[in-house]
Amino acid sequence: MNYCSHCGQPVSFVIPPGDDRPRYLCQACGTIHYQNPRIVAGTLPVSGDQVLLCKRAIAPRLGYWTLPAGFMENGESTPAAAARETREEACAEVDLQGLYTLINLPHINQVFMIFRGTLLGEFAAGPESLEVALFREDEIPWDELAFPTIERTLRHFFSDRQRNAFPLHVSDITPEDRERYFGSA
C-alpha cells in the first residue's frame, strides 16, 4: 500500500501508538489501514459413500481437483458463502451439516472453512470448473489435489466416517507443510 484510500496522501508502515504490530498509517489524516485474513468457505458434498470434487478451470492450480470453495464476500455468512461457492463451481445444492474443518494458513493470510453437507440432486461443472465428479475413497486422485487443505479435509472425513462421528477439526498449515505438498519451487 502506497497511498491512503481516505485522503490520498502517502502512508507509512509503522506501529501506530497503542498498537503492537506494524500497520499502514496515514500521517496526514491519521487513518490506520488494517489488513485482515481472507476467509475461504466451501463444502464437502457427500452422496452416499462418495464425495463431490471439482477440477479447477482457473489458476492457481488449474487442472487439479478441489472441493467447491472460494473467498467469502462481504455481507455473507460463512454457511451462505459455502453454499454459494458450491452452486458456482458445481451447480449443486447441499444440505449443510455444520462446520467440519477450520484450517489456518497464517503465512498467506487465509482461514479455510469447510462445511460438511449432503449433496441434493444433480450437479454440473460451473464456469470455474473443468469437470465435477463423485469419488469413493479409493478413487480419490490424491496426487492431483489442488491444495493441502483439501487433502487434510478429505483424510479427516474418511477417517471419521469409519467411526460415524464428525467432530470439528481445527488445525494450521505452515509454510513447511506447503513446501512438502508443492515442493520448493
38-182 to CATH, choices 1.10.1760.20, 3.90.79.10, 1.10.357.10, 3.30.2450.30 = 3.90.79.10
Instruction: Write down the CATH number for the domain with range 1-35.
Output: 2.20.70.10
Q: Label residue 181 by pLDDT band (50, 70, 90).
A: low
pLDDT digits (tens, 9 = 90+) for 124-145: 999 999 999 999 999 999 999 9
pTM of the predicted model, to two decimals? 0.89
The ranges assigned to domains in the chain are 1-35, 38-182
Long-range contacts of 23-29 (CB under 8 A, 24+ apart): 28/4, 29/4
The distance in angstroms from the start CA to the end CA of the chain is 27
Q: 129-135 and 50-56 as β-strands: parallel, antiparallel, unpaired?
A: antiparallel
Residue 59: HSE in the Cβ half-sphere, 13 Å Cα cutoff: 0
Q: Do domains 1-35 and 38-182 have the same CATH topology?
A: no
Q: pLDDT > 90: what percent of the chain? A: 94
pLDDT reported for residue 177:
75
pLDDT at 162 over 90: yes
Average pLDDT estimate for 59-79: 97
